[in-house]
Amino acid sequence: MTGSRYDVIVVGGGFAGVTAAREAALKGRSVLLLEARDRLGGRTWTSPWNGLTVEYGGGWVHWHQPHAWSEITRAGLAVQLSEDAELSGWYVGEERRSGTMRERDAIARRGWDMFVDGVRDALPNPHDPLHAIDELVRFDRLTIAERLDELPLSVEERGVLAAELESLASAPLEDAGAVSVLRWHALSGYSLELTQYTGGRVTLPAGTRALVEAIAGAAPVERRLDTVVASVAQRGDWVEVETRDGETLVARAVVVAVPINTLGAIEFTPQLSEVKRQAIAQGQASRGIKIFIRARGADLNQNSIRPGHPFGYLDTEVMLSGGEQVLIGFGPDAALCDAADTASVQRQMDQILPGYEVIEATAHDWLADPFSRGTWAIHRPGWYEHFHAAMQQPEGRVVLAGGDIANGWAGFMDGAIESGLRAGAVAARLSA
């Protein structure tokens, strides 16, 4: 057997990977962290953009997210709260209506409360999603669209709720599982207000990069960037990790902390269990876009929603001088929006927030990115009934990790950290 040897190799440098690497190293193991990109962070990415700093991936945190909040406290990082919109807009068919956020939230609540009816029985302990699986199954077998179709909504209620859900799902509602909504609601104290708060009000002024670097730097871990893993092969008491450059590295245990939609690009020997292969083949549903738009217009904090729009949830992120502001938009399908095409973005802006001139826009195509193949975790129907438990089970000396398979805040930094804590402890035990 050739190649450099370690106690633990971690594949993937997102929040799950850096946490798993830290945990194993703190238990005295020699750890190598391999990351395919030229940076740590995975689907979080703090980056400069024309004099501003933006979060192309995940960016929001909250004190209801226990693992992330603990790490923020440990790192000594501050948080900031965004302001409520001064004006809200929504659509009923082709008609644009406007009012306060309170007025629109009242419309959303009527549909939302119907959508989540039954969640307390289905998810009584949201950090243990299988606790009442017999109750959860009836929701787990539905897409968001199918659940919507069960509800007696007015045209206005359905339009407002559908737009909210498209932004949450980052996917077509016909693909995304209904439990993705119920889980977020349950984790937010069964409250619509807190669900909205946990997903879009609290950020890190120093950026998510500061948090991931704080975790990564808290233990002696060797790291290699720009290193793509091709295969993971178990051979007796050792695991061989081969990179695409042909280098072979060896460890007692390996944590593979990459998104579900990219696991198929790694060859495992022996093959992963059949149920894991089925889960990987199905993948998770998210395929949306997060777009930043610098625009000029009325000097107001805006929030506008429209179902079926390429970025149907649009919100002011920061006010600039000269009547300019930066807005964040979320849409269900990255293929519908090209941030580099300013004329196209302007036409789409006119359809959701008329009266603003688009100056420039930027986005990262997480769907086309070979190391993500999607945005945050939004599972398809059947995930909890068939796949969730199996994806967390070790395969010999190989452990899967990532925010996609977290028990609690799957799709958030908190879920990734939770999964990394668990995987790091398992890898340390396997490598003893």
Q: DSSP secondary structure string, 84-135?
A: PPSEEEEEETTEEEEE-HHHHHHHHHHHHHHHTTTHHHH-SSTTSTTTTHHH
Give residue 237's pLDDT band: very low, low, confident or very high (50, 70, 90).
very high
39 has pLDDT over 70: yes
Three-class DSSP category at 250: strand
Give residue 75's pLDDT band: very low, low, confident or very high (50, 70, 90).
very high
Mean pLDDT of all residues in 47-52: 96
pLDDT for position 71:
98
Give residue 341's pLDDT band: very low, low, confident or very high (50, 70, 90).
very high
Residue 140 Cα distances to 18, 143, 170, 185, angstroms: 31, 8, 18, 15
Mean pLDDT of all residues in 152-176: 97
3 has pLDDT over 80: no
Give residue 4's pLDDT band: very low, low, confident or very high (50, 70, 90).
confident
Q: Tens digits of per-residue pLDDT, 248-305?
A: 999 999 999 999 999 999 999 999 999 999 999 999 999 999 999 999 999 999 999 9
1 has pLDDT over 80: no
pLDDT for position 424:
98
Please give the single-letter amino acid code of residue 23: E
Mean pLDDT of all residues in 196-213: 96
Mean pLDDT of all residues in 351-372: 98
Q: Tens digits of per-residue pLDDT, 93-144?
A: 999 999 999 999 999 999 999 999 999 999 999 999 999 999 999 999 999 9
What six digits make up the tokens of 309? 């729009």
66 has pLDDT over 60: yes
Q: What average pLDDT does the chain have?
A: 97
Give residue 389's pLDDT band: very low, low, confident or very high (50, 70, 90).
very high
Top pLDDT among 57 and 4 is at 57
Mean pLDDT of all residues in 299-320: 97
Tell me how far the alpha carbon of residue 317 is from its chain's centroid.
Answer: 19
pLDDT for position 148:
98
Please give the single-letter amino acid code of residue 189: G
Three-class DSSP category at 318: strand
pLDDT for position 151:
98
Residues 6+ apart with CB under 8 A from 316: 85, 300, 301, 302, 303, 325, 326, 327
pLDDT for position 2:
61
